[in-house]
Structure 1
C-alpha cells in the first residue's frame, strides 16, 4: 500500500483501460449514427419490441427492422423475428428473468416461417433469366423459408409491399392503458411467400399468480397470393395458394451469460445446458406441452443443479420456457392443420400436433451464412407427421414416409404431405422427439431432478443444436388469414414456468380485442407515479402520487386499500439458498414490514445436495430485487403522509436507514381489499391458489421507472446509452445513490446546513468502495452548494488536490474523491485539511486517512 509506483501503475492501467473503452464506445456510437442499419442494432429503441414492463424481459426484432448480426451481409433476411441479442453485444434484453437481473439463459432465440409447395417452379434455380438467391440445390425447388429484402447490401432487394406503410411498419412498445397494466408492441411486414405478417407482443404487470412472468406473441398471417420468392419486387404468381406453412421457434440455450456495468457479456459456464420437453399433466389433467431450458447438474454429478451462474455458486434455478397457445381464424374458430386436426391438440391430446426437438445434426435456425437449407428446415418444423422427422436428431436419418400411428401406411408418397391419408381413428403422431420417453430408453440424457417430470425428453446442449418447437402445416387460400399465438416465459424452477404458462393460457381465453376482456377481468389500482429524492440530512424521501385512488382504464379505485413501500440496497447481501429467487413470486403478499416470511418462499429443489459447495457464496441486490417490505400504509392513514411540496406528487415517506454513497431501489405499490375474491375458475391449471382477496401493483415503477425501455439496462451505468440526466435515470429505474441534496449557500452560511466528508476517518476501505477493485478508495464530500471549489492540503501547507464541483441536480450535492493527488499518486495516511469555497462563504474541515 506504500509503493507509489505500484499504485501509479494500477491507476495508469485503469485509466488506459477506461480510455480504450471510451474510444471504442465513441467509435461504435459514431458508426451507429453513420448509417441506419447499425443504428438499429446499436440503439434498440428504433422500432423494435422492447418488453420490460413485467418480471420477464425480452426483445424482438422483426425482419423489417434490419438484419441481426449474422445476416447483415446477405441480400435477404430469413429470420422472421430475432429474439434478443440483436448485435452480439447484448444491447437488448435477452430472456431475462427476473426483470433487470444481469444475466439470462439464451444466447438468442428466433422465429421462422416456412412453406412446402409441390410445384417444381415454386423456388427454382433461376427466375426471369437470373440466378435465384433463395435457391438451394440441396433443398431443391419445393421448399422456402420466408424472406424479406435486405436494403443494406449491394443487392438492395425488396419484396412486394416492402416500404408500403400500411403493410410494413413498427410501433414501439407502449401501455395501452393509463393504469400501466398492459404493454403492447406491434409490427407488420410482407414476405417473399406472399404472406403478410402482423405481429403483436403483449405483456402485463400484474404480479399475482405469475401474470407478469410471460409475453404473448401473436402473428396474424394473410396470404396475399403474390409470391415473390427471389425478393426482386416482381410477382412470379399472383394467385399463389399456400400448401404447407409452418412456424418455428428455436433458441441456443446457454443458461449462463452475465452482463456487466457496461452491458458487456461474461460467460459463466459450469452447469450442464439442459433443454427438453415436459409432457406430464398439469392440474387440469391435460399435458403441459411445455418446452424448457434450465441449468442442469454439472458433470461432477453432485446434484448441484440450479446454478445458472456456476462460478459464483449462486442457487438461482432460473428456467425458461415456451408453448404454442393456438391458431385461430378471423371468426375465432380453430384453424385445422392440412391433415384436419386441431392445430395444437385439445384436452388429453394437447401438444400432439406440434413438433418439438433438439437440432443436433439438423439445420434448424438460420446461421445467416449461405442459402438456408429450406428442405431439412421445413422437415424438422413438421417432423411430428413423418416417420422420423427429428426423433433421431439426425437429418441423415430422416424418414419422410407418413407417420404410421396417425396415417394409413398403405397410402401416401414419402415427402409429399398432400398425399398423406389419416387413419379412420388416428393415434398420436410420433415423428418428433418431444415424447421420446414413451418410445424407449435414453430420453433423459440429463436428470432434471424435478419431482413429477417423467414424460418428454432432456438433452444436453453444447452450442451444437437449438431446442425448437413448431406448429403446422397449414393450407391457406388466397386472402385467407390465421392468427398463430405463442407464449414465452421465465421463472423459478419448473413450477415457476409451469405457473406462468397456466396464467398465459388463462389470459389467452380472454384475447378478444387485444385482451380487453382480460384487462377488465382482473381490475386493480393504477401503478403509482413515484420518485426518490435525497435530503440534507443523509436520508431518502420516497414520493408518489394518488393515481391509485382514482378509477382509470383497467383499474379499481373502489377496492383501494392502501400503499406499500419496498426497498432493495447494495448494502445488503443475498444468500440465494435462503432468499434470492425463492421469494420473487410471493414476497408481495407480506403485510408486515421486514424480511419475506418463510411461508412465502418457494422451496429449494428437494434433490439439491450441494449446500456445502454453495455455502458462503452471496450476491448483492440490484434493480430486480430481492425487495423487502419497509412500510405498509392503510387507506385510513395515507393522510399522515400528505406532502404536496413537489409538483405532481401527493405523498412522501422518509427512510433514515440509508448510507451515503450506497445505491438503493424503492418502489411504491397500491393494493386492494377485494369485496368479492378474484377467482380464476376451474380451468386455471397452475399450482397457485386460484382465488385472492388482495391484488397489488408490481415493482415496474421502481425508482420512478416508466416501465418502458430506455436504451440500455438500469444496471449498465458504464454503457454508452446510459442516461446522463437524473430524469433519464429515473425513467429507466436506475439505482439511486444516496448523496446529499444540493445545499443552499444561504443555509450553509447561516449554519442551517453543514458541509462534511464521509467516512472520516477513512480506514483502509469504505463500505461503498468496490469489492472487486483493489484500487477503488474514495470519500464523499456532501451538502455542497451548486458550485464549489474544494482544496485539499496536507499539514505542511502543500496543495494535494483541487476539486471543482458544479451541479444543477437538486438530488446531487455530493462529490467523490478517489484520494489520488494532483500528481496521480495515491495519498498517504495522515491528517488533511479541506477548504470548500463557494459563492457567499467558505468552510474548513479536517479529513483523516488511515491506510
Structure 2
C-alpha cells in the first residue's frame, strides 16, 4: 500500500502458528532520499499468545493456557544471490570464487555506542585483493546489505500504550530486567549475531535455539566449535542458574553487568596487510581462518568472516516470555548502503525512525514533500515531454525538480565515480553535479571497469529546477492538461529518436520544521528535503505484475499497452509518430534508418538493431542485398498512435544473422513507396 502522496509505503501479512502465537507482520518504508530514509525496510512483528498450542498441526489444540517461556526470533541472512538472464537462464551475479564477506560491525560510533549490525559484502577473487565490488561485465557496485534488531515493545492493557519489553531472564526478585537490545555503550549487548558454521548451528530445534542465544552461555558458539559448548550461564550477566536451562538463569545486579561474550561475534583486531606490497591497511577484526581485508581501519571492532555455504549468519533477539493473552512487537531493519559508511548512515536512519515510535505505536517521521503523478510522452516536434500533476493537490511544496537518466552516452565510472542515489539529488543547480562517493581504496583493478549505460535505477542528473513561483511558465497546453497541468520539453543535446530515457519529478521544500534528530541525518548545507524517484516514467510505485526492466517477461506490457507501461515505469524510447502517407508520397517526409552504418554496439539502446522511423501507420518493408536477393520482408502495423518506428533485428527471413555489407530497403505504403540504403559493419 502507498499513502496518497506516495511518501510512505507499507504491507501487512498475518498468520497463526502451531505454538498458539498469532503473527502480524507490517513492513514499512519511506520514499524520500533524505538521510537514507529510502534505503531500508522497517519490519514490525506483532506476536499475540493465544495460549492454544496445536503442536502437531492437526487442528486439535494440544495445550491450553500455554505460556511461552523462552521465545527466540531469528533472521537468517543467506549470503548468496543470483540474476535471471534475458534468455531465461540463471547465472550468478558474482562468481562463486569471490569473497562472500559477512560480519558484525561493533565499532563505536561518535557517541561511543557500538554500531551493532550484521552485514554482507562481496570481495575479490582469492588470488587477488584488488577487485572488491566488481561484478560481471565490468560493473562496479560496492553495496553492502545490513540488518539488525532495533527493539521490542509490549502492549500495556491498563494504559492502552506500548512500553518496553524486556528479555525473559529474571533477577533475584523475579523481575525481567534485561533490555532486549541495550542502549549507549551497551547497545547490542543483549541480542546475538553469530555465524553458524563448524556445526555451531546444527539446525535441530535445540541446536538452533542455542546458536540464536549463544551469547548468554559461557560458550554458545564462542569457541566456534560445537564440541566445546559450555551451556552454563554467562558469568558476565548471571549470578546463578542451571546449565542448559536458560529459564533458570538469575541476573546479576545491573551495576555488575558485563558484556555477555558467549557467541562468536567479535575477535581482536589485527593489522590488515596489502597482499602484494605488505603495507599496513588498518586495524581489522578478521576471522583468523576466514577473514580477509574488508574496510580495514573503518570496521575496527566486531568480526569479518566469510560465508562458505556451511552456516549462514543469524541475527537474533530473545529469549522473550509471553503470558497467555500478551501482545508484543519486535522491530527489525534490513537495508543497504554504499560500502560500510553508507550502510551505517542507513542503520542510523532506521534507528532514528524507531526512536520516533509513539506510545500508541505510530511513528513520528517528518512529512516530506509529495510525489506528483507524471507522464512522459512525445511532443509534436519529437522531443520528450515530461508532464506532471500539481503537487499542491497532494501536499505542501516549494518547487519541483526533474531528473533524467539516459542509455547513451554511457557514463564513465573511472571519471565520474559511482553515481549512487544518495548523492545525485544533493544539488539545486543543474550545472552542479554532486561529487560521487570515492571508490573503495582496496579497489585498484581500474582497467576491468567498463562504461555503464543508464537505466531505471539511474544514474540520474538534475535537468531542471522550477520554483513554485515559476510554475505558470510551464503550463501544459496539450490534451493531458486537465490531469497534468504542467509540462517541460527536453531539448538537451543528445536527446535523439531511438534512444531510451528515464525521468522522474520530485517536489522539494525547506526543512526548517524538521526535528533535530532527523535534521542530523544530513549535513547542514542540505537545507531542503525532497521526494524520491517513485514516479520514474510515470510509475505508480505499486507492484504491476513485473519489474520495469524485465522486458522479456510474459507479464511485461505490450507496446500497445501504453497505460500499463507507464504504470510500470518502463523505459521511454523517443520515437516519432506515424507519418501521413500523403506526406510520404509527396516526399514532404522521408522514411529513414538509424544507425547507419549499423555496428555491433550502436549508440541507441536497441543494441544490435536497426531502427526504421517516420513510417506510416501500415506499410511493407523489403530488405535486399546488393545482388537483389530478398533478405527479409516486414509487414509493419503501428501498435499505438504515437509510434511510427520499427526495430529490425538484423536476421533474415530464414533466421540467419545477416553479414556485413550494403543493403537496400524499399518501403511500400498506400499511395507510394520510398527507398534507401544502409550498411552493416561487424
Superposed CA deviations along residues 207-249 of structure 1, whole A, max 9, x for unmatched, are 0110100000000001000011111111111110101001000
Superposed CA deviations along residues 780-837 of structure 1, whole A, max 9, x for unmatched, are 1212233322234567766543211223423322111234443445266335241231
Match of 1:544 in 2: 388
Contact 1:780 1:814 in 2 (8 A): yes
In 2, distance between residues paired with 1:833 and 1:297?
A: 50
What do you get for the CA RMSD once the two structures are aligned?
Answer: 2.8
Alignment of 1:508-523 (within 5 A): 508-512=354-358, 517-519=363-365, 522-523=366-367
In 2, distance between residues paired with 1:382 and 1:474?
A: 11
Match of 1:50 in 2: none
Change (3 A) 1:590 1:609: same
TM-fit CA distance, 1:263? 6.8
Any idea what SS the aligned residue of 1:285 has? coil
In 2, distance between residues paired with 1:223 and 1:358?
A: 30
1:576 aligns with 2:413: yes
1:487 aligns with 2:330: no
Change (3 A) 1:591 1:692: closer
In 1, distance between residues paired with 2:30 and 2:523?
A: 19
Match of 1:230 in 2: 56
1:631 aligns with 2:464: yes
Change (3 A) 1:741 1:535: farther
Match of 2:675 in 1: 845
Alignment of 1:146-165 (within 5 A): none
Any idea what SS the aligned residue of 1:495 has? helix
Structure 2 length-normalised TM: 0.87
Any idea what SS the aligned residue of 1:379 has? helix
Contact 2:119 2:146 in 1 (8 A): yes
Match of 2:77 among 233, 237, 251: 251
TM-fit CA distance, 1:484? 0.3
Match of 2:147 in 1: 322
1:403 aligns with 2:234: yes
Gaps of 5+ in 2: 156-160, 170-176, 271-283
In 1, distance between residues paired with 2:90 and 2:665?
A: 43
Structure 1 length-normalised TM: 0.71
In 1, distance between residues paired with 2:641 and 2:191?
A: 57
Any idea what SS the aligned residue of 1:574 has? coil
1:788 aligns with 2:619: yes
1:597 aligns with 2:429: no
Superposed CA deviations along residues 131-156 of structure 1, whole A, max 9, x for unmatched, are xxxxxxxxxxxxxxxxxxxxxxxxxx
In 2, distance between residues paired with 1:795 and 1:280?
A: 70
Match of 2:208 in 1: 377
1:417 aligns with 2:249: no
In 1, distance between residues paired with 2:28 and 2:44?
A: 8
TM-fit CA distance, 1:495? 1.1
TM-fit CA distance, 1:562? 2.1
Change (3 A) 1:364 1:703: farther
Any idea what SS the aligned residue of 2:77 has? strand
In 1, distance between residues paired with 2:602 and 2:300?
A: 52
Match of 1:471 among 313, 317, 329: 317
Change (3 A) 1:734 1:362: farther
Any idea what SS the aligned residue of 1:437 has? coil
In 2, distance between residues paired with 1:762 and 1:242?
A: 70
1:287 aligns with 2:114: yes
Contact 1:376 1:395 in 2 (8 A): no
In 2, distance between residues paired with 1:487 and 1:680?
A: 22
Superposed CA deviations along residues 477-528 of structure 1, whole A, max 9, x for unmatched, are 1000110000000010111111111111111122349975534xx2332211
Match of 2:555 in 1: 721
In 2, distance between residues paired with 1:277 and 1:341?
A: 22
Any idea what SS the aligned residue of 1:192 has? coil
Any idea what SS the aligned residue of 1:484 has? strand
Contact 2:621 2:665 in 1 (8 A): no
Change (3 A) 1:831 1:617: closer
Match of 2:569 in 1: 733
In 1, distance between residues paired with 2:247 and 2:368?
A: 50
Higher helix share: 1
Match of 1:272 in 2: 99
TM-fit CA distance, 1:388? 1.2
Match of 1:59 in 2: none
TM-fit CA distance, 1:315? 3.2
Contact 1:536 1:743 in 2 (8 A): no
Alignment of 1:52-201 (within 5 A): 174-175=1-2, 177-201=3-27
Change (3 A) 1:815 1:315: closer
In 2, distance between residues paired with 1:515 and 1:811?
A: 50
In 1, distance between residues paired with 2:147 and 2:639?
A: 48
Contact 1:761 1:847 in 2 (8 A): no
TM-fit CA distance, 1:663? 2.0
Match of 1:829 in 2: 661
1:210 aligns with 2:39: no
In 2, distance between residues paired with 1:338 and 1:819?
A: 69
Match of 1:347 among 184, 187, 192: 184
Superposed CA deviations along residues 595-643 of structure 1, whole A, max 9, x for unmatched, are 7232xx22333x32514454x5322222111111222222233222211
Any idea what SS the aligned residue of 2:377 has? strand
Contact 2:150 2:351 in 1 (8 A): yes
In 1, distance between residues paired with 2:524 and 2:51?
A: 46
Any idea what SS the aligned residue of 2:293 has? coil
In 1, distance between residues paired with 2:138 and 2:596?
A: 36
Contact 1:280 1:287 in 2 (8 A): yes
Any idea what SS the aligned residue of 2:305 has? strand
620-629 or 725-734: which moved more?
Answer: 725-734
Count of aligned residue pairs for this structure pair? 643
Match of 1:527 among 367, 371, 375: 371
TM-fit CA distance, 1:438? 8.2
In 2, distance between residues paired with 1:765 and 1:494?
A: 36
TM-fit CA distance, 1:577? 4.1
Superposed CA deviations along residues 724-748 of structure 1, whole A, max 9, x for unmatched, are 2332222221222232223455665
Contact 2:285 2:301 in 1 (8 A): no
